Amino acid sequence: MTSWRAHARTLADQVTHPGSRWHRALVDTPRHRFVPAWWDDSDGPWALRRGPLAGAYANRSLVTRIGPLHADLAKDDDHPQGRPTSSSTVPSLAVTMYRYGHLSRGLDIADVGTGSGYGAALLARRYGSRHVTTLDVDPYLVSAAAGRLAALDLCPTALTVDATGPLPGTYDRIVSMVAVPSIPPSWLAALRPGGRLVTTIRGTWIILTATRTPDGVFGQVERDWAGFMDVRSGPDYPPVATIDFDRIAERDGEQVGVGRYPVLHVADAWELSTMLHLAVPGIEHRYRRGSDGRHTALMAHPDGSWARGTAIGTDPPTVHQGGPRRLWDALDAVRDDWLRLGWAPFLGARAMIRDDGTIKLLRGDWRATIHAVPTP
């Protein structure tokens, strides 16, 4: 039987290269000890998986919790409903975030989003347990991760903390494995002079890095992309109003016209979906393809606005819109900017973060604001 170390080495070779200082940490860290079970939906509804061993070393996200049900505590015939609420991050993405964090020996690191604890293990191996604090809102996740870390003689500080509230200390680096709607003011308060944070922004594929300087907190959007689960403050995400996309697919619009661009699956077009979120945050998307080649993009916003575009192939779509805003018009305006500029303007944009967590983005004559979300 192939040993876990052979699988770990294969993973390390995929994620990085033998000359990287991360290579040894990946080779020496048994991911299967942190993810003995996970949820998989590749064949339909969520189903429990407990191996094979190679599965734990795949360079992919392993979902460990659906709603409030953790895979560790599930029965083989459980099929949970709801959103994924925790996972073991794609190893290559975890290393990417650490690299953007500009980590170094002797710096105190806050690992926001413990999840399985695998990331905390990599950090502790590279930089020493006493310099790593790993935080998660879920007491079970923190307890399980701490036990699995200790079994490997790794003892970073592991705390149950709602990361949207006050953090337990100050840090030279804050690395987030969850997506935030804006920068929590508590992160800014916990960031030491010269300190650096790296996170992703909810509803976008933005990787944001920022450093505390004597004049404020400034940074940039990296020329890269990533997506994480949204940060949460409780055992599950709060319920949201159900959007009746079946009704949107059939209803007549208050405004009916012909779109200027082909229909596409907006949520899968990461540059375009990010630009649309920056313009109109909070849109939900669905995409449907018929057997006759007809495909439909559906959009809905919590304010009651909705839009539907339907076409065959790349033909101009018939567009129905209703509610207080014209969402398809907003999408077309964003596509205009995208084509006019020839690139996604948020990539490489400079960032200024205000004390309340508001993020101001600037690149050339392009501007965007990610407004602060009040602390619960």
What pLDDT, in 10s, does the model give residues 328-341? Answer: 999 999 999 999 88
181 neighbors 282 (Cβ within 8 angstroms): no
pLDDT beyond 60 at 54: yes
Tokens of 273: 């979906």
Q: Looking up tokens 């609420």, which residue turns up?
A: 85
Which amino acid type is present at position 137?
A: V
What is the rounded CA–CA span in Å between residue 114 and residue 120?
A: 7
pLDDT beyond 60 at 3: yes
* pLDDT the model gives residue 53: 92
pLDDT beyond 80 at 130: yes
Contacts of 302 (CB under 8 A, 6+ apart): 241, 282
What percentage of the chain exceeds 90 in pLDDT?
A: 91
Residues of the chain with CATH 3.40.50.150: 4-221
Residues of the chain with CATH 3.30.160: 245-340
**Quick one: average pLDDT of 37-50?**
92
Which option is the CATH number for 245-340: 2.40.128, 2.60.40, 3.30.160, 3.90.930?
3.30.160
141 neighbors 161 (Cβ within 8 angstroms): no
Higher per-residue confidence, 376 vs 129: 129
* pLDDT the model gives residue 208: 98
- Assigned fold of 4-221: Rossmann fold (3.40.50)
**Quick one: average pLDDT of 238-264?**
92
* CA neighbor of 74 nearest in space, from 37, 44, 33, 42: 37
Q: Looking up tokens 């695998």, which residue turns up?
A: 118
pLDDT beyond 90 at 2: no
Question: What is the overall mean pLDDT for the chain?
Answer: 95
